[in-house]
Every structure is written in structure tokens, then in C-alpha cells.
């Protein structure tokens, strides 16, 4: 909602910020030519910084698109959805929507899911640390997911595609001809992406709902060791 500058106290920081924000957003025009030029420079610098942040947060998407195409897409997004948080490391939550709405990318339908996967990686990187004290497990208690844990069920092999673009990874002869459940975790400060069988999704959803261990579907428990090994669960001890 636009800020009503007239209702703000005169000469207050909030009034100046609202006025300057209006200049940057094109809602107002500076009277002085020098100020108009300064606003254009500032807006250009802000757009460049936003595009650089997107390139940093979505490197695999950038590799898939190529530098020029990604730069054009990033600028389109930055102009339509400029950052509202000064922490540009957290910029890009709506980038997958821009990708999905770009008709010129329709021939590559896996690109929106790659953007969604890379955004979940950003979220995992900056998520809180799991509790330092191991959780005592009993059949009547849930085994909580670690704060950084997330996942993406895709019609495309996005986990394998992401892994193939990591430094030092060997390019596979072929990619799986089916979709993948991509598990995103953080272990010792490093974000991991693991392709899981589709059957693990039911277990992840049950754990997210904090289902007690004794009520978990026994058929899904086969996936529990893989989740623990990837760091998807908080540290725990129990019988």
C-alpha cells in the first residue's frame, strides 16, 4: 500500500524515505534536473545490484539460459519486482513466477522448477541452525525436520540436472526420463540436493506435520535412513 506522505511528520526520516521511494518508483518526479539525474543513477545502480543478486542466487538457471538471456530475464524481474529487503542475498522469492510467465521460455518447461529448487537452496542456506541438544525420541514423539530442510516434487529431473552443474561434477550420459523428488538439506554449512524416490514424499509430509513416530506409515520408514544421512532431521537419540 502506498504511503501517504502528507500524513507523516514534517522533516521526519519516514517522510524523506517515503518521498525518495516515490521518486525511485516513478510515483513522483524531482523538480531539480540534478536530482532527477541522481535518481536515475541510483535506480540504475539498484537494478544492477538486484540483477547481480539474482545471478548469484540462481547460478544453474543462469547456466541453462546463458548469460545474455538470463540478464534480460533478471532485469525484467528486477523492474517488475524490485527488492524490498536490503539483504539482496535473500532476493528472488518470486523469480520462478517470472520464469513461468515468460512465453519465450515455454520450450524449456523445466526452467520454472529449477528456479524453485534454487530458491529453496537459498532458503536452506540462511535457515536457522538445528538445536544443539539431541532430541530424545520415543514412539509417542515426532522427529522434527531440521530448519533448513525442504523439498520439491518436480515432473522433471531437476535434482540430477542441478547436481550435474556443480563444480567438479561429471556430466551424465543421460538424465532420468522421469520426474524427481529433490530433497534440500544443509549439513555442516553446506547445502545438499538429493534425489529421493517418490515414495519418500509421504514420509516428509508426515514429519512436517509432526506425526508421532508410532503413527508413521511403516511402508515409508524405509526412507528414514536417507533423510537422516542427508541431515534432513534434527539430531536425536533413542532406542
| pLDDT at res. 121 | 98
Secondary structure element (H or E) that encloses residue 238, with its range:
strand 236-238
Mean pLDDT of the chain: 88
What average pLDDT does this structure show over 88-116? 96
pLDDT of residue 176: 92
Is the pLDDT confidence value at 107 over 60?
yes
Quote the pLDDT of residue 31.
Answer: 64
Q: Burial, 146: exposed, middle or buried (Cβ in 10 Å; 0-12, 13-18, 19+)?
A: buried
> What region does 127 belong to: left with phi over 0, alpha with psi -120 to 50, or beta?
beta
Of residues 234 and 32, which shows the higher confidence score? 234
Q: What is the pLDDT of residue 84?
A: 84
Q: Which residues pair with 193 in a beta bridge?
A: 184
Query: What pLDDT digit, counting tens, does each position of 15-61 carry?
Result: 666 666 666 666 666 666 766 665 565 566 688 899 999 999 999 99
**pLDDT tens per residue, range 92-105:** 999 999 999 999 99
- Of residues 123 and 39, more confidently modeled: 123
pLDDT band of 181, cuts 50, 70, 90 = very high
Of 36-40, 95-99, 137-141, 207-211, minimum mean pLDDT range = 36-40
C-alpha angle 87-188-152 in degrees, rounded to nearest 5: 65
Q: pLDDT tens-digit profile of 157-170?
A: 999 999 999 999 99
Domains and CATH numbers, the chain: 127-239 (3.90.930)
Mean pLDDT of 222-226: 95
Which stretch of 11-20, 94-103, 126-135, 204-213 has the lowest confidence by average pLDDT?
11-20
Report the pLDDT averaged over residues 8-15: 61
Asked if the model's pLDDT at residue 2 lies above 60, the reply is no
pLDDT at 138 (0 to 100): 92
Amino acid at each position: 500500500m502506498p504511503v501517504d506522505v502528507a500524513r507523516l511528520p514534517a522533516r521526519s526520516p519516514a517522510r524523506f524515505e517515503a518521498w525518495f521511494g516515490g521518486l525511485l518508483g516513478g510515483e513522483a518526479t524531482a523538480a531539480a534536473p540534478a536530482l532527477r539525474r541522481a535518481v536515475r543513477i541510483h535506480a540504475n545502480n539498484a537494478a544492477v545490484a538486484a540483477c547481480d543478486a539474482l545471478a548469484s542466487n540462481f547460478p544453474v538457471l543462469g547456466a541453462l539460459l546463458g548469460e545474455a538471456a538470463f540478464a534480460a530475464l533478471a532485469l525484467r524481474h528486477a523492474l517488475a519486482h524490485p527488492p524490498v529487503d536490503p539483504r539482496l542475498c535473500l532476493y528472488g522469492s518470486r523469480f520462478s513466477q517470472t520464469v513461468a510467465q515468460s512465453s519465450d521460455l515455454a520450450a524449456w518447461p523445466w526452467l520454472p522448477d529449477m528456479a524453485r529448487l534454487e530458491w529453496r537452496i537459498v532458503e536452506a542456506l540462511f535457515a536457522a541452525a538445528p538445536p544443539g541438544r539431541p532430541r530424545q525420541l520415543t514412539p509417542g514423539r515426532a522427529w522434527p525436520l531440521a530448519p533448513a530442510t525442504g523439498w520439491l516434487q518436480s515432473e522433471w529431473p531437476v535434482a540430477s540436472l542441478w547436481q550435474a552443474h556443480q563444480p567438479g561434477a561429471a556430466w551424465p550420459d543421460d538424465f532420468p526420463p522421469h520426474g524427481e523428488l529433490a530433497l534440500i538439506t544443509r549439513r555442516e554449512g553446506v547445502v545438499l540436493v538429493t534425489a529421493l524416490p517418490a515414495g519418500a514424499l509421504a514420509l516428509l509430509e508426515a514429519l512436517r506435520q509432526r506425526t508421532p513416530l508410532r503413527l508413521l506409515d511403516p511402508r515409508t520408514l524405509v526412507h528414514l535412513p536417507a533423510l537422516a544421512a542427508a541431515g534432513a532431521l534434527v539430531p536425536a537419540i533413542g532406542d
